[in-house]
Amino acid sequence: MWWRRQLASVKLLGRCFSAAASGEQTRLGIIGVPFAKGQGKQGVELAPDLLRESNLRQVLQSSDERLLITDYGNLHYAVDETLLQQQRQHYYHIRNYADFMACNLALIEQVQVMLQQNAQFLTIGGDHAIGFGSVAGHLQHTPNLSLVWIDAHADINLHNTSQSGNIHGMPVSFLLRELRNTWQHAALDKVAPNCLSKDQLVYIGLRDIDPYEAFILNKFGIRYYAMDSIDRMGVPKVIEMTLDALDTQNKIHVSFDIDALDSNVAPCTGTAVRAGLTLREGISIVEALRDTKRVQGMDIVEINPKLGTPQDVRTTVDSALEILKSMFGYRRSGARHYSNLDTGILGHEQ
């Protein structure tokens, strides 16, 4: 029967396509960073393993069959005497500087290893203090980098402007050349010589900006879309303006603080602020960034399963998974790759 032969050849072709598809596989490296010393609440260190137990790998794999995922486990670090000395002499007024720097130095190395072995990487926090090491590691591998920081907070405090002393409110200040002179005892030119250019940073979702942070953002003309701008212009316009601001030759790093989302959909986080992005808005932003095909690194941070009820934890984790799914391939408009499907089904009725 001719159609049976045809069916057989479709299957063979299917196999060929699968083999061809393996050539197009996207390697994704995942690192967990169970760091909680950037702020005062215990629990955020549990997020990497919680996401794994919540089928992160399967969720990502089913969002794009071509992903080839390597999980590098959780990051370890050791604090050395040099860092303790920096802390004692210069940064004793902020909390856990030595731990912060030791963890981020290890992460800077880890990100570079992941980018040597993978096309993309995902860093799971931990609190947002790890945003420094994740982006700095990315910058050392790929100097021409743009950063989209999706967050309720600007995280751009300096050691001498922070009111809380919590270093999860400072990581961005370690990344910009213009602010490095305020961290002159941190040896940043040695540990992370490549800086982020201030015109390649865009914030989305801000709604709790400290006075000195507002001063810094305005002084350097840093682009930020706070919730009032988002309400005025709408997410599509904000996405358009964000993409216009990013150099099309650059790769993109997306640092996603779960507190950017409204606390209805992300209740379990240490510094929740009401009236944030809806889950749909978060997904729209992430989809638009993904569709540039330039996103090379992403962070998801500040999920704290010790805050809230078990139902709250489920809601927060589900929202995080929706965001990650959209970043790594899931399309609300339907899949575009059919190599696992028997495309012969449309041929002839048997």
Residue with Cβ nearer Mn ion (151 or 281): 151
Of 151 and 322, which has the nearer Cβ to Mn ion? Answer: 151
CB of 151 to Mn ion, least distance (A): 4
257 is known to lie in a ligand binding site: yes
For the chain, helix (H) and strand (E) counts, in that order, are: 12, 8
Residue number, 110 or 157, with CB nearest to Mn ion: 157
Alpha-carbon gap, residue 90 to 71, rounded angstroms: 37
Nearer to Mn ion (CB atom), residue 99 or residue 151: 151
Q: Closest approach of Cβ 301 to Mn ion, in Å?
A: 6
Contact status, residue 120 vs residue 219, Cβ threshold 8 Å? no
Residue 151 is assigned to a ligand binding site: yes
DSSP string for 96-122: THHHHHHHHHHHHHHHHHHHHH-SEEE
Q: Supply the minimum distance, in Å, between the C-beta of residue 71 and Mn ion.
A: 24
Q: Is 127 annotated as a binding residue?
A: no
Torsion of CA 326, 332, 336, 338, to 10 degrees: 100
Query: Per the annotation, does 259 bind a ligand?
Result: yes
What CA–CA distance (Å, rounded) separates 117 from 30? 11
The residue among 67 and 124 lying less far from Mn ion, judged by its C-beta, is 124
Cβ at position 153, least distance to Mn ion in Å: 5
Query: 131 or 329, CB closer to Mn ion?
Result: 131
In angstroms, what is the minimal distance from the CB of 46 to Mn ion?
18
Alpha-carbon gap, residue 271 to 273, rounded angstroms:
6
CB of 94 to Mn ion, least distance (A): 16
As given in the structure block, the two tokens for residue 235 are: 């997410």
**Cβ 173 to Mn ion shortest distance, Å:** 13
Cis-peptide into 126, omega within 30 deg: yes
Residues within the interface to Mn ion (CB under 5 A)? 128, 151, 153, 155, 257
Determine phi and psi for 83, rounding to 5 degrees. Answer: -70, -40
- Amino acid letter for position 94: I
- Give the three-class secondary structure for 284: helix
> Has 90 been labeled as part of a binding site?
no
Nearest to 126 by CA among 300, 317, 320: 300
Residue 153 annotated in ligand binding: yes
CB-nearer residue toward Mn ion: 64 or 155? 155
- What DSSP string describes 236-278? HHHHHHHHHHS-TTSEEEEEEEGGGB-TTT----TT--SS-B-
In what order do the strands lie in the sheet containing 251-257? 67-74, 26-33, 120-125, 295-301, 251-257, 145-150, 201-206, 223-226
Q: Which residues are documented as binding site?
A: 128, 151, 153, 155, 257, 259
Q: Which residues are documented as binding site for Mn(2+)?
A: 128, 151, 153, 155, 257, 259
